Amino acid sequence: MRFSRDLFPKIDGMRERKRQHHPEIEDETFWRFYEASKDYSLVHVAGFYNVFQSINYIARNRISGCAIESGCFLGGIAIFMGLMRRHLQLDMPIILLDTFCGPPMGTADTFLGRAIRTVAPLPNYEVTIKEHITRHLGGVDGYTFVKGEVETTIPTLEVGDVALLRLDTDFYSSTSAALNGLYPKLVPGGVLIVDDYGTFAGARKATEDYFATLERKPLLNRIDTGVWAGVKP
Protein backbone atom coordinates (compact mmCIF):
# COMPACT_ATOMS: atom_id res chain seq x y z
CA MET A 1 0.00 0.00 0.00
CA ARG A 2 1.60 3.23 -1.18
CA PHE A 3 -1.27 5.56 -2.05
CA SER A 4 -4.63 6.48 -0.56
CA ARG A 5 -6.34 5.05 -3.64
CA ASP A 6 -4.91 1.64 -2.78
CA LEU A 7 -7.25 1.66 0.24
CA PHE A 8 -10.12 3.62 -1.35
CA PRO A 9 -9.98 3.17 -5.13
CA LYS A 10 -12.63 5.82 -5.86
CA ILE A 11 -11.17 8.57 -3.70
CA ASP A 12 -9.60 10.54 -6.55
CA GLY A 13 -12.99 10.92 -8.23
CA MET A 14 -14.58 12.68 -5.27
CA ARG A 15 -15.57 16.31 -5.83
CA GLU A 16 -14.10 17.15 -2.41
CA ARG A 17 -10.67 16.38 -3.88
CA LYS A 18 -10.90 18.48 -7.05
CA ARG A 19 -9.77 22.06 -7.65
CA GLN A 20 -12.68 22.99 -9.89
CA HIS A 21 -15.06 22.57 -6.97
CA HIS A 22 -13.09 25.05 -4.83
CA PRO A 23 -12.91 28.23 -6.94
CA GLU A 24 -12.64 30.38 -3.82
CA ILE A 25 -9.15 29.00 -3.13
CA GLU A 26 -6.86 30.91 -5.48
CA ASP A 27 -3.44 30.56 -3.85
CA GLU A 28 -1.16 28.74 -6.30
CA THR A 29 1.28 27.76 -3.56
CA PHE A 30 -1.51 25.88 -1.82
CA TRP A 31 -2.50 24.02 -4.97
CA ARG A 32 1.10 23.10 -5.75
CA PHE A 33 1.64 21.65 -2.29
CA TYR A 34 -1.77 19.96 -2.32
CA GLU A 35 -1.05 18.20 -5.59
CA ALA A 36 2.26 16.97 -4.18
CA SER A 37 0.65 15.60 -1.02
CA LYS A 38 -2.89 14.43 -1.72
CA ASP A 39 -2.04 10.97 -3.06
CA TYR A 40 -0.77 9.99 0.39
CA SER A 41 -3.77 11.19 2.40
CA LEU A 42 -7.48 10.63 2.91
CA VAL A 43 -7.86 14.34 3.72
CA HIS A 44 -9.72 16.42 1.15
CA VAL A 45 -9.07 19.95 -0.15
CA ALA A 46 -10.77 21.69 2.78
CA GLY A 47 -8.70 19.77 5.32
CA PHE A 48 -5.45 20.55 3.53
CA TYR A 49 -6.42 24.22 3.25
CA ASN A 50 -7.08 24.24 6.99
CA VAL A 51 -3.47 23.13 7.56
CA PHE A 52 -2.27 25.72 5.02
CA GLN A 53 -4.10 28.53 6.83
CA SER A 54 -3.03 27.25 10.23
CA ILE A 55 0.67 27.25 9.42
CA ASN A 56 0.43 30.67 7.78
CA TYR A 57 -1.30 31.92 10.94
CA ILE A 58 1.44 30.40 13.12
CA ALA A 59 4.12 32.08 10.99
CA ARG A 60 2.41 35.49 10.91
CA ASN A 61 1.94 35.51 14.66
CA ARG A 62 5.41 34.12 15.44
CA ILE A 63 3.99 31.25 17.47
CA SER A 64 6.86 29.01 18.53
CA GLY A 65 6.64 25.27 18.94
CA CYS A 66 6.56 21.99 17.11
CA ALA A 67 3.83 20.47 14.98
CA ILE A 68 2.47 17.11 16.10
CA GLU A 69 0.32 14.81 14.00
CA SER A 70 -1.19 11.90 15.89
CA GLY A 71 -2.08 9.46 13.14
CA CYS A 72 -0.21 10.27 9.93
CA PHE A 73 -1.19 7.39 7.59
CA LEU A 74 0.93 7.53 4.39
CA GLY A 75 2.29 11.00 5.09
CA GLY A 76 0.21 13.38 2.98
CA ILE A 77 -0.31 15.98 5.70
CA ALA A 78 3.24 15.43 6.97
CA ILE A 79 4.61 16.22 3.51
CA PHE A 80 2.34 19.25 3.22
CA MET A 81 3.52 20.57 6.59
CA GLY A 82 7.13 20.03 5.55
CA LEU A 83 6.62 21.92 2.31
CA MET A 84 5.01 24.78 4.22
CA ARG A 85 7.80 24.79 6.79
CA ARG A 86 10.41 25.08 4.06
CA HIS A 87 8.41 27.67 2.12
CA LEU A 88 7.99 29.90 5.18
CA GLN A 89 11.47 29.12 6.57
CA LEU A 90 10.06 28.04 9.91
CA ASP A 91 11.92 26.40 12.77
CA MET A 92 9.10 23.96 13.49
CA PRO A 93 9.98 20.33 14.25
CA ILE A 94 7.35 17.87 13.00
CA ILE A 95 6.54 14.88 15.22
CA LEU A 96 4.56 12.01 13.72
CA LEU A 97 2.84 9.46 15.95
CA ASP A 98 1.44 6.27 14.43
CA THR A 99 1.32 2.50 14.71
CA PHE A 100 2.26 2.44 11.00
CA CYS A 101 -0.14 -0.48 10.56
CA GLY A 102 -3.53 1.07 11.26
CA PRO A 103 -5.76 0.84 14.36
CA PRO A 104 -5.51 -2.12 16.72
CA MET A 105 -7.59 -5.10 15.63
CA GLY A 106 -11.05 -5.22 17.16
CA THR A 107 -11.30 -1.46 17.65
CA ALA A 108 -14.97 -0.50 17.34
CA ASP A 109 -16.70 2.83 16.77
CA THR A 110 -19.52 4.54 14.93
CA PHE A 111 -18.77 6.26 11.62
CA LEU A 112 -21.52 8.66 10.50
CA GLY A 113 -24.08 6.57 12.36
CA ARG A 114 -22.80 3.20 11.11
CA ALA A 115 -21.12 0.70 13.43
CA ILE A 116 -17.61 -0.29 12.33
CA ARG A 117 -14.88 -2.56 13.66
CA THR A 118 -11.23 -3.04 12.68
CA VAL A 119 -10.89 -6.62 11.46
CA ALA A 120 -7.36 -6.68 10.02
CA PRO A 121 -4.17 -4.62 10.24
CA LEU A 122 -3.00 -2.56 7.29
CA PRO A 123 0.30 -3.41 5.57
CA ASN A 124 3.12 -1.76 7.50
CA TYR A 125 3.80 1.68 6.01
CA GLU A 126 6.64 2.98 8.20
CA VAL A 127 9.22 2.70 5.43
CA THR A 128 6.73 3.94 2.85
CA ILE A 129 5.98 7.22 4.63
CA LYS A 130 9.70 7.97 4.97
CA GLU A 131 10.16 7.29 1.26
CA HIS A 132 7.29 9.64 0.42
CA ILE A 133 8.68 12.44 2.57
CA THR A 134 12.16 11.95 1.11
CA ARG A 135 10.79 12.07 -2.43
CA HIS A 136 9.26 15.50 -1.90
CA LEU A 137 11.62 17.07 0.65
CA GLY A 138 14.93 15.36 0.00
CA GLY A 139 15.06 13.57 3.34
CA VAL A 140 13.42 13.32 6.74
CA ASP A 141 15.47 15.94 8.58
CA GLY A 142 13.23 17.84 10.96
CA TYR A 143 10.85 14.91 11.37
CA THR A 144 10.58 12.60 14.37
CA PHE A 145 8.75 9.28 14.00
CA VAL A 146 7.19 7.73 17.11
CA LYS A 147 5.96 4.18 16.52
CA GLY A 148 3.29 2.52 18.62
CA GLU A 149 -0.18 3.01 20.01
CA VAL A 150 -0.43 6.59 21.24
CA GLU A 151 -1.94 5.45 24.53
CA THR A 152 1.51 3.97 25.23
CA THR A 153 3.88 6.37 23.47
CA ILE A 154 2.46 9.75 24.47
CA PRO A 155 2.94 9.40 28.26
CA THR A 156 6.69 8.95 27.74
CA LEU A 157 7.06 11.44 24.88
CA GLU A 158 9.41 14.31 25.70
CA VAL A 159 8.16 17.39 23.89
CA GLY A 160 8.27 21.11 24.57
CA ASP A 161 5.87 23.74 23.30
CA VAL A 162 3.41 22.67 20.62
CA ALA A 163 2.19 25.19 18.03
CA LEU A 164 0.03 22.83 15.96
CA LEU A 165 -1.69 19.69 17.25
CA ARG A 166 -3.47 17.60 14.63
CA LEU A 167 -5.34 14.50 15.77
CA ASP A 168 -6.29 11.84 13.23
CA THR A 169 -6.65 8.49 15.00
CA ASP A 170 -10.43 8.19 14.69
CA PHE A 171 -11.27 6.42 17.95
CA TYR A 172 -12.07 7.38 21.54
CA SER A 173 -9.10 5.90 23.38
CA SER A 174 -6.39 7.27 21.09
CA THR A 175 -8.00 10.70 20.76
CA SER A 176 -8.44 10.94 24.52
CA ALA A 177 -4.81 9.95 25.11
CA ALA A 178 -3.60 12.60 22.66
CA LEU A 179 -5.70 15.36 24.20
CA ASN A 180 -4.80 14.49 27.78
CA GLY A 181 -1.12 14.16 27.01
CA LEU A 182 -0.55 16.86 24.41
CA TYR A 183 -3.19 19.59 24.65
CA PRO A 184 -1.61 20.96 27.87
CA LYS A 185 1.57 21.50 25.82
CA LEU A 186 -0.26 23.37 23.06
CA VAL A 187 0.63 27.02 23.56
CA PRO A 188 -2.09 29.67 23.92
CA GLY A 189 -2.93 30.71 20.38
CA GLY A 190 -1.81 27.32 19.08
CA VAL A 191 -3.98 25.41 16.62
CA LEU A 192 -5.94 22.25 17.44
CA ILE A 193 -7.29 20.14 14.57
CA VAL A 194 -9.47 17.09 15.26
CA ASP A 195 -9.70 15.36 11.91
CA ASP A 196 -12.43 12.89 12.80
CA TYR A 197 -14.62 15.00 15.08
CA GLY A 198 -17.43 15.11 12.56
CA THR A 199 -17.33 11.51 11.38
CA PHE A 200 -16.26 9.24 14.26
CA ALA A 201 -18.40 9.23 17.39
CA GLY A 202 -15.40 8.16 19.45
CA ALA A 203 -13.22 11.10 18.42
CA ARG A 204 -16.09 13.51 19.06
CA LYS A 205 -16.89 12.11 22.50
CA ALA A 206 -13.23 12.05 23.52
CA THR A 207 -12.92 15.70 22.51
CA GLU A 208 -16.07 16.76 24.33
CA ASP A 209 -15.14 14.77 27.44
CA TYR A 210 -11.73 16.45 27.53
CA PHE A 211 -13.13 19.93 26.89
CA ALA A 212 -15.50 19.42 29.82
CA THR A 213 -12.45 19.35 32.12
CA LEU A 214 -11.13 22.72 30.89
CA GLU A 215 -11.88 26.07 32.46
CA ARG A 216 -11.33 27.82 29.11
CA LYS A 217 -12.63 25.79 26.22
CA PRO A 218 -11.61 26.36 22.58
CA LEU A 219 -14.18 27.02 19.88
CA LEU A 220 -14.06 24.29 17.24
CA ASN A 221 -15.30 25.24 13.78
CA ARG A 222 -16.40 22.82 11.08
CA ILE A 223 -13.92 22.69 8.19
CA ASP A 224 -15.62 19.84 6.34
CA THR A 225 -17.63 16.77 7.32
CA GLY A 226 -14.81 15.24 9.34
CA VAL A 227 -12.33 18.00 10.16
CA TRP A 228 -13.06 20.48 12.95
CA ALA A 229 -10.46 22.96 14.17
CA GLY A 230 -9.86 25.85 16.51
CA VAL A 231 -7.33 27.91 18.47
CA LYS A 232 -6.42 27.36 22.10
CA PRO A 233 -7.54 30.37 24.17
Residue 51: the pLDDT is 99
pTM of the predicted protein model: 0.96
Residue 164: the pLDDT is 99
Q: Which of 111-115, 131-135, 183-187, 210-214 has the lowest mean pLDDT?
A: 111-115
- The CA R_g of the chain, rounded to the nearest whole Å, is 16
pLDDT digits (tens, 9 = 90+) for 148-204: 999 999 999 999 999 999 999 999 999 999 999 999 999 999 999 999 999 999 999
Share of residues in the chain with pLDDT > 70 (%): 100
Instruction: Flag whether pLDDT at 113 surpasses 90.
Output: no
Instruction: Flag whether pLDDT at 146 surpasses 90.
Output: yes
CATH 3.90.870.10 for domain 4-231: no
List b or e across 78-112, with b for residues whose CB sees 16 or more CB atoms inside 10 angstroms. bbbbbbbbeeeebebbbbbbbbbebbeeebebeee
Q: Taking residues 93-108, what's their average pLDDT?
A: 91
